[in-house]
Each structure stands twice: as structure tokens, then as C-alpha cells.
Amino acid sequence: MNHYLYKQFYRNKAYLIALVFLLAAGLMAIYTGKKFLDRNEDIIAKSGNFQKESIARNVKFHKDDLGLILYYVKFNLVNETPKLAALNIGMRDLNPSIQGVTIRNLEEQRYNSDFYNPANAAVGNFDFSFVLIFLFPLVIIAFCYNLISEEEEKGTWKLLSVQSGHLGRFLNAKIIIRGIAVSLIYLLLIIIATLWIRIPLDKFYILFILSGWLYILFWFVLCRWIILFRKSSAQNALILLIAWVAMNFIIPMGCNLLIQKSYPVQESLKAVMEQREGYHNKWDEPKKPTMEKFYKVYPQYRKFTVEENDTFTWTWYYAMQHMGDAEASQSALLYREKMDKRNRAAVFLGYFLPNIHTQLTESRLAQTGMDNHLQYSAALQKFHEGKRLFSYPLIFSGQNAESVNWATQTVDHFAKPEKLNMLQLFLPYLIIIVLLLLFSQNKYRKLC
């Protein structure tokens, strides 16, 4: 019987065309990810050369004024992009993997990329995760929606019930054959991506592969449950398509609106405005209050005094710049807290929707999600602080360009692999799959 079912499946041209379509879509998605990774690596390489050239050019023209050199020079911090990011681009197209900052105010520079979309609402990319989450289920639905109803509509179901002593096994065999076919396409795409992009087979990649396969398994189990209700082919197809649309569009969009309303984000723009106002207002204010606030934060610089009648000093200028950041710090903190709350709300929603859970899990494993962005943002703040504290004593004491070993001022890198919680990763899949199997068990017994 199983041999006959295999032949029946693979002789169906429509099924083979669907598998070829899935393979082609997956290959295009892998190509998209490869191009993204290549472009990203090229930008990072060019940024390193640009930083060297910028330093050399400014040192050449302003060698006696270190404060002016460091006014212009940008120091780059790279958010390292693992090869796995090619399969899940996530938010890396909205939030660049490298950012350059001067030792001046940070908040305005930090939100240069976020200014256009402060909510960071990524529409999505045609990457491998997109194909997995949106296209694989459609093919699975096309393979499974009429496994029972087609036989009933043709009038062969009663004949099968006489010839086969166990219709439940007959149904499971048909589902398993389709599951093997889809899994083989998935595995083939993974192998191609591994060889083409040279993704290391580490624990992150293995978990990435397993999460994707569990998502595929979820859709087969869901289809099995639906078709066991013994509805017509049209009804089965409609129910499964409604489930696909609801899971991928209606529920996520509705929840996204609710999350945005619960955690409105205006703080990135507010932080920029507060920083600008805080900085520009200092030009018209007495110097002493600004310096006292600065000395309170950095008492080690109190020896670098500024007189009220001084026309311009770098000590006062950079203190004024930092105070602009200080006045925007509360809004910046609220922004990061709200983005973290939005992310946690999305994670909670993913416990009930495998598609969202898969997207968030794979973006976390590929270090392309909101978690990584917030960690990089915190690292950028520490990086900027380090550059300022290194530069301030040299600038304030009137040193020239020769006081700095510019060869050591290279591009820095940030890398922080995600901490993995296996229970949090796999439990949502297992709970939903087991529940669907339990729900369908009673109807399955009747079928047997």
C-alpha cells in the first residue's frame, strides 16, 4: 500500500511543480541573503578604510588642534553579522551593522538610522525565513487539504474502508509521504545554503534548522486535525487558508496595533530634540552652571577650569555637548525600555502563534532581532563613553595630534551571542503540536 501511495504522490505533476516552486523560492531567498551578507561585509571593509583616511586627512590639516580633529573624526563600531543572518535578515536592513560616532553628542547620532522609523516596524525581507514561514505552509495546505475528502468525493473511500483494515494508518501514510517530500526540500535548501554561504554548523545553526522543521511539522499536524472533521475539499481549503491568513496577517497586525497603543514610542525623536535644545541653549547661558553640572558627573576634570569671560574653549564646548546628551538621557532610557517591552510582548504572542515564534527564534539565533539591536545600542553608548574619556584629558590639556597613537584607533567590533533557553525555544512548538494531536485523536479513532 505504501509503495502505491509513493508512486501516486510522485506521479502527480501538480505536486512536483509545487515542490519545484518551493525549491526555486528558497534558492532566490538564499541568493538574497547572500547578496545582503556580501554587501554588509563590503560596507564594513570600506568603513575601516574610510576611518583611516579621515583620521589621516584631519591630522594633516589640523595637527595642532586636537579638539578640532576629534570634532570631525568618526569612530566605527561594528555589530558583527554571523553568516546565519543571510537566512534571516531580520532588522539588519533597518538598523545598520556598523555605526560611526564622533566624541560629540551621542543621542542625535544614535537615532540617525531610527529617525525614519522610530517604531522599528520591519515589513520583512524575502529571505529564507520568509519562504519558510509564508510559503511552506501554502504548499503543505495544497498537499493535505483533500486527503480524505477527495476519496469521499470520488466514491473510493468506502472501497478503501473495505480493502484497508486501518484507514487511520492509510491517512497517516499519505501525510508522512508529503511530510518527507517537504522535509527533503527543506533539507536540500539548508544544505545548499550551508555550502554556498559557508554557514558554520554550530549550535545556533542546528537550533535554527530544528525550529524551522518543527514549524513545518506544526502545519502538517494542523492539516491532519482539520481534515479529520471530514468536511468537503472546498471547506477544508477555506478553513486552512483562513488559518494561514489569520496567523500571518490579521492576528499579528491587530496585536501590533495593540502593542503600539500600549507602548507608544516617540522618545527617539524626543531625545534628539531635547539633546539639540539642551546643547544649543548652552550658547546663550552662562558657562559656570554648565561646567558645574559637567564636573559633578566627571569630577576628575575639575582641574580644567573655564572662565566666564572666555570666548571659546574646547573644555566648555565638549562639556556643553555632553550636557545636551544628559538632558535627553531620560527620553533615551524610556525609548529603550519601551522597545524592550514591545519585544517581550511579541515574544509572549509567539507562545500562541508558531509563525511569530519561529520568526523571533530564528532572528534571535541569527542575531538580527530586537534583542541584538538593543544590546548593540547599549554597547555603542559604552563605546562612545570610552572614546570621550580617552579624548577629554588630551583635548582639555591642549595636546596636539602627536599625543595620540592613531594606529590604535581602528574599527571596534561588538559580538554578544544570544543566551539560549532550550525550554523557551522548543516548548511552544511541542505544546501546540501535542494539543493538536490530542484534539484530533477522538476523530482519528472513529476513522480507524
Provide the residue-wise pLDDT of the chain in tens; the chain has 448 residues: 577 788 889 899 999 999 999 999 999 999 999 999 999 999 998 998 999 999 999 999 999 999 999 999 999 999 999 999 999 998 888 888 899 999 998 877 876 554 333 333 334 578 999 999 999 999 999 999 999 888 777 777 666 665 665 777 888 999 999 999 999 999 999 999 999 999 999 999 999 999 999 999 999 999 999 999 999 999 999 999 999 999 999 999 999 899 888 888 765 566 666 666 666 666 777 888 888 989 999 999 999 998 888 888 999 999 888 887 887 778 788 888 888 999 999 999 999 999 999 999 999 999 999 999 999 999 999 999 999 999 999 999 999 999 999 999 999 999 887 788 999 999 999 999 999 999 998 888 776 5
Residue 206 has a pLDDT of 97
Q: Which set of grid coordinates corresponds to residue 332?
A: 533615551
How many other C-beta atoms lie within 10 A of the C-beta of residue 116? 8
Burial pattern 250-271, b for ≥16 Cβ within 10 A else e, equals ebbeebbeebeeebebebbebb
Residues 6+ apart with CB under 8 A from 367: 80, 81, 82, 84, 85, 417, 418
- Phi–psi pair at 386, nearest 5 degrees: -65, -40
Residue 273 has a pLDDT of 64
Residue 79 has a pLDDT of 95
User: HSE on the CB side for 156, CA within 13 Å?
Assistant: 7
Q: Positive or negative, the Cα torsion across 439, 244, 263, 337?
A: positive
Residue 251 has a pLDDT of 94
Residue 118 has a pLDDT of 37
- Percentages helix, strand, coil for the chain (3-state, rounded to 5) are 75, 5, 25
How many other C-beta atoms lie within 10 A of the C-beta of residue 154? 9
Residue among 375, 428, 368 nearest 87 (CA): 368
Residue 396 has a pLDDT of 94
How many other C-beta atoms lie within 10 A of the C-beta of residue 441? 11
Residue 186 to residue 331: CA distance in whole angstroms: 45
Instruction: Tell me whether residue 203 is exposed, middle or buried, using C-beta atoms within 10 angstroms of its C-beta: 0 to 12, 13 to 18, 19 or more.
Output: exposed
